[in-house]
């Protein structure tokens, strides 16, 4: 059942409740629900919320706002800085990046120096690295602590770091040692040795690892959070389950953009010339490939002049070759997302896609041959039975051959891209279609020239 609390929240805010009662009732709702009604409030009503809510609650609300910068402008610089420094570092970074440079610098100067240092550390990693997606919202405990000492530290830090379902342990040099569930710590007997309860073979990620290469690993473990370490195994952050969802969405959006021949995803707020800059390189590449296709067609002028009717079936061959290649491409990219796939499995996949291409090509080729034969016999009987038969054979065999080759190209190209450390998704969309067009043109007009025009001459 869909739940929408906007009307109830607005009714509460429009009531004559005292500040204490108002805060008490509003805090019964999730921060995201409160964030959704911000745009329906007057400035005075929002000022009232700014006044009665503590920074921790405002930080939660602002992390869910679609345009937090708009509302930060309603606050004093000191208040805005307090709210941002209370957020998770990844949320704070997202907000700061959307502010004007002058405003951003002013707030950073007012923020806690430790928080600024954490933000700088995360920003030091490239956007495609795990380190850029992590948060410093976690609790780390010395592995030599007692159970009582560990519980005391959790109680002390729980108000600051709310990501406490998994507790991390380090040695005296801040090197990652292991982790354990909070539940295991709660039920542990006081006399037990804490170090023996810690899972020392716990999965972790390097901050410099690429996000695209870690998604399967993160999803396979299905943990609330996974620790992130530097090259010396020092614990520097964690990737939470919410981070995983966000990263997965970003990767899907990026792959969708590449499917359309773009360098990366666009949004409505992106400047005009930045969008143009993203698109123009791929458009130029596709233009060059399109010109190659046109030049190839021009080389078969004698074929077209000798039997103009064959032009009518060109788009049929090109479309089916493109469709077949795109299907193989989609299957290959999906399988290649599994980082554990072996070379043997890759060769097996190539062989399978070729077999699929042969069977599909044979079936579609026969159907095409019969269709073209019937069409020409009914509309072009003046060509003669021999030419009609040879033209039908040329179209059918071209369909069969181009579908096999397109399946092979659609499978092989993303594999080559991956071996060259290029995202296989780049091989998709318009790029693979244009390559298959070139292949299909050569096959179709080449066969037509061999089977028909030589006979006519």
Give per-residue pLDDT as tens, 401-415: 888 888 888 888 878
Domain harbouring 246, CATH code: 3.10.580.10
Give per-residue pLDDT as tens, 195-216: 788 898 898 999 998 877 777 7
What pLDDT is attached to residue 457? 47
Q: Is the dihedral of CA 346, 347, 350, 351 positive or negative?
A: negative
Give per-residue pLDDT as tens, 161-199: 767 788 899 988 899 999 988 888 888 887 788 878 889
Domain harbouring 85, CATH code: 1.25.60.10
What pLDDT is attached to residue 428? 58
Q: Is residue 67 part of a domain?
A: yes
309 and 446 inside one domain: yes
What's the domain range around 168?
A: 140-259
279 and 255 inside one domain: no
55 and 181 inside one domain: no
What pLDDT is attached to residue 271? 65
255 and 278 inside one domain: no
Q: Is residue 133 part of a domain?
A: no
Show the tokens assigned to 225: 């959070």
Q: Is residue 373 part of a domain?
A: yes
- Categorize the per-residue pLDDT at 268 as very low, low, confident or very high, splitting at 50, 70 and 90: very low
203 and 238 inside one domain: yes
- Average pLDDT (137-152) is 87
331 and 432 inside one domain: yes
313 and 206 inside one domain: no
110 and 157 inside one domain: no
What pLDDT is attached to residue 256? 47
207 contacts: CB under 8 Å, gap ≥ 6: 125, 129, 130, 131, 134, 228, 229, 230, 236, 237
120 and 146 inside one domain: no
What pLDDT is attached to residue 193? 82
CA 233/CA 228 separation, integer angstroms: 9
> Which one has a higher pLDDT value, 261 or 106?
106
252 alpha carbon, distance to own chain's centre:
3
Q: Is residue 345 part of a domain?
A: yes
Percent of the chain with pLDDT over 90: 14
Q: Is the dihedral of CA 249, 264, 230, 83 positive or negative?
A: negative
Domain harbouring 431, CATH code: 1.10.357.20
The candidate with the shortest Cα–Cα distance to 182, out of 193, 198, 202, 195, is 198
Phi, psi (deg, nearest 5) at residue 29: -105, 160
- Average pLDDT (100-123) is 88
| Count of domains for the chain | 3
Q: What is the DSSP code (8-state) at residue 234? A: B
Indicate the length of the chain as a whole number: 457
Q: Is residue 204 part of a domain?
A: yes
415 and 282 inside one domain: yes
**Per-chain mean pLDDT for the chain:** 81
106 and 248 inside one domain: no
One DSSP character per residue, 317-340 reads HHHHHHHHHHHHHHHHHHHHT-TT
239 and 297 inside one domain: no
144 alpha carbon, distance to own chain's centre:
40
Which of these three, 124, 151, 170, is where a domain ends?
124
Q: Is residue 68 part of a domain?
A: yes
On whether the CB atoms of residues 169 and 140 are closer than 8 A, the answer is yes
Which of these three, 71, 95, 124, is where a domain ends?
124
Which of these three, 216, 238, 259, is where a domain ends?
259
Give per-residue pLDDT as tens, 376-401: 888 887 777 888 888 888 889 889 98
What pLDDT is attached to residue 79? 92
Is 70 exceeded by the pLDDT of residue 366? yes
The secondary structure of 361-400, three-state, reads HHHHHHHHHHHHHHHHHHHCHHHCHHHHHHHHHHHHHHHH
What pLDDT is attached to residue 169? 92
On whether the CB atoms of residues 396 and 311 are closer than 8 A, the answer is no
What pLDDT is attached to residue 178? 92
């Amino acid at each position: 059942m869909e739940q929408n609390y906007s009307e109830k929240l607005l009714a509460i805010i429009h009531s004559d409740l005292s500040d204490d009662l108002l805060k008490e009732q509003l805090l019964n709702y999730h921060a995201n629900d409160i964030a959704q009604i911000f745009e329906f409030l007057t400035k005075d009503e929002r000022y009232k919320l700014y006044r009665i809510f503590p920074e921790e609650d405002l930080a939660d609300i602002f992390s869910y706002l679609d345009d937090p910068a708009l509302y930060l402008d309603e606050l004093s610089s000191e208040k805005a800085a307090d709210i941002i420094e209370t957020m998770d570092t990844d949320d704070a970074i997202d907000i700061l990046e959307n502010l004007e440079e002058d405003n951003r610098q002013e707030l950073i100067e007012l923020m806690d120096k430790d928080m600024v240092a954490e933000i700088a550390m995360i920003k030091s990693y490239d956007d495609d690295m795990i380190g850029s997606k992590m948060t410093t919202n976690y609790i780390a405990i010395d592995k030599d602590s007692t159970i009582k000492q560990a519980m005391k530290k959790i109680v002390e830090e729980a108000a600051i770091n709310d990501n406490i379902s998994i507790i991390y342990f380090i040695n005296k040099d801040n090197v990652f040692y292991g982790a354990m569930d909070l539940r295991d710590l709660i039920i542990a007997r006081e006399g037990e040795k804490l170090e023996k309860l810690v899972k020392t073979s716990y999965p972790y990620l390097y901050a410099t690892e690429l996000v695209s290469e870690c998604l399967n690993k993160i999803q396979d473990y299905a943990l609330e959070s996974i620790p992130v370490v530097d090259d010396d195994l020092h614990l520097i952050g964690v990737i939470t389950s919410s981070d995983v969802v966000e990263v997965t969405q970003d990767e899907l959006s990026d792959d969708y953009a590449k499917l359309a021949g773009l360098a990366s995803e666009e949004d409505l707020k992106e400047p005009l010339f930045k969008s143009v800059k993203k698109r123009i390189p791929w458009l130029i590449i596709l233009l060059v490939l399109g010109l190659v296709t046109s030049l190839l067609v021009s080389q078969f002028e004698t074929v077209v002049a000798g039997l103009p009717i064959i032009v009518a079936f060109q788009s049929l061959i090109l479309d089916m070759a493109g469709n077949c290649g795109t299907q193989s491409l989609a299957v290959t990219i999906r399988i290649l997302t599994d980082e554990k796939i072996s070379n043997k499995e890759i060769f097996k996949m190539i062989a399978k896609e070729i077999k699929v291409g042969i069977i599909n090509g044979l079936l579609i080729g026969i159907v095409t041959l019969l269709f073209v034969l019937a069409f020409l016999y009914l509309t072009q009987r003046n060509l003669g039975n021999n030419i009609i038969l040879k033209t039908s054979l040329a179209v059918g065999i071209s369909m069969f051959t181009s579908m096999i080759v397109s399946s092979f190209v659609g499978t092989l190209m993303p594999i080559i891209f991956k071996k060259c450390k290029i995202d296989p998704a780049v091989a998709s969309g318009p790029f693979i279609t244009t390559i298959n067009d070139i292949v299909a043109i050569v096959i179709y007009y080449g066969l037509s020239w061999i089977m028909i025009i030589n006979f006519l001459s």
